[in-house]
Amino acid sequence: MARRLALTIAILTALSAVWCGQAGPTPRVRHVDLLASLPRAEKRPLGSEFSAGLVTLGGETLTALDVPTASRVIWSERLPDRAALETALGVSPALSAAGRGNAMFRIGIADERSYDEVGATAIPLDAPARWHRVSIDLSKYGGFKWSLFYRPRWKIWKVTFNTTVEGLGRGVGAADRLYWARPMVEGKG
């Protein structure tokens, strides 16, 4: 009788683990270095140059992702608990010299069903060259949630960086670039 009870409990435990979608320990992510994982990211437009290197704006030098003015970079990543995305935005001196229009930086999070724009920043091209720091709370997309079906800690999220330039008044040149400095998703706590 005791053996049968133990077997029944073991079967029910295994079935509930499978039914709940957790057959093993929950994977933990502490941080995601988006710059280091650039080679694995999807980059658009295809054939354009996307690189990482040192960029100096306003006398401050940071390691940055250098992208075309109209671009999209998509990383597929699991996010840390209580996540926050930290980066700094910048505009190349050649683009700043244009003197009019705005550089638009957008950040979104997507899964297989939805897309949420979690941040948008417009930088006037005639503004002095400097880094514009951005911090975005992504805690909704990582960690444990009390739900049978919604498990953000297990999901692979698509972290999307979009850039465009509006109102430039001239064609875009090869030296017209936008920058995302040290893009990192950190778990807080």
| Interval 59-82: pLDDT, tens | 999 999 999 999 999 999 888 888
Can you give the pTM of this predicted structure? 0.81
Residue 73 counted as domain residue? yes
Residue 3 counted as domain residue? no
Residue 52 counted as domain residue? yes
Residue 8 counted as domain residue? no
Residue 134 counted as domain residue? yes
What gap in Å lies between CA 147 and CA 74, rounded to an integer?
A: 28
Inter-residue contact 168 to 101 (CB < 8 Å): yes
Q: Which range of residues forms the domain containing residue 62?
A: 27-187
Secondary structure tally for the chain: helices H, strands E:
2, 11
Residue 93 counted as domain residue? yes
What gap in Å lies between CA 14 and CA 146, rounded to an integer?
A: 20
Residue 1 counted as domain residue? no
- The residues with which 102 forms a beta bridge, in sequence order, are 124, 166
Residue 108 counted as domain residue? yes
Overall domain count for the chain: 1
According to DSSP, residue 8 is labeled: H
Instruction: Residue 173: give its domain's CATH number.
Output: 2.60.120.1060
Q: What is the pLDDT of residues 1-42, one digit of tens each?
A: 667 766 666 565 554 544 444 444 555 667 889 999 999 999
* Closest by CA position to 188, among listed 85, 44, 64: 85
